[in-house]
Amino acid sequence: MRGFRKVCVILLIFTWAAGSYGASGGRLFRYINEEGVVVIDDKIPPAYVAQGYDILSGRGQLLDTVEPSVPQNAVEKALRKKALMAREKEDRFILISYSSVTEIQAAMARKLGQLDREVKSINTNIRGSKRRIAFEQQRAANYQRGGREVPTNVRETLLELEAEVKKSESLLLLKQEEYDKTEARYQGYVERYRQLKAQKETALEG
């Protein structure tokens, strides 16, 4: 019971500190949410205070690190550090690569357009292969109706075409998955770019 009260007091202190920092001239908080995503905001939800967080200046410089009030093992610490480094790397990439939301959206449109053309090409190949399969199947049926054995080359052609269709369908699924991931990634860039620019404006105003 005494340990529980201690944890509650620590949480209240951190919550008060988070509110104080959020109100003191452009300071930001960097923490990891339940999905493992690094978040930078001008406030930190009480639920994430206990796991530790970083305090940044409005320009994104590290001012202080609040260690977790709940002990973490080496693996958790390593994962947290890795997530923070990955977010910082992506932030640098976004700011260096793009100068506006419109530019990000244009890059997304180009990439999605390319993937869309690849998907259409694969679909065209699948339809062509299926037409050839239908033709070879008709040839095989004609041989059988005439009481003749289906030639080896016809059977082999059918097997090759069916294998080609399966391969193309697998590739199609991969391209469709890549399309969805690419769209989500660029939309994430747009949202993150807006957040970074808003943070910069807040820092300048402060």
In angstroms, rounded to a whole number, what is the distance separating the alpha carbons of residues 105 and 183? 10
- Splitting the chain (206 residues) into consecutive groups of 10 residues, what average pLDDT does each group show? 41 41 62 79 84 80 79 71 84 92 96 96 96 94 91 93 95 94 93 87 70
Read off the pTM: 0.59
Q: Are 26 and 43 in contact (CB under 8 A)?
A: no
Q: What pLDDT, on a 0 to 100 scale, did the predictor assign at position 66?
A: 86
Tokens representing residue 166 in the block: 């399966």
Domain boundaries, the chain: 2-97, 101-205
Provide the residue type at 101 as one letter.
Answer: V
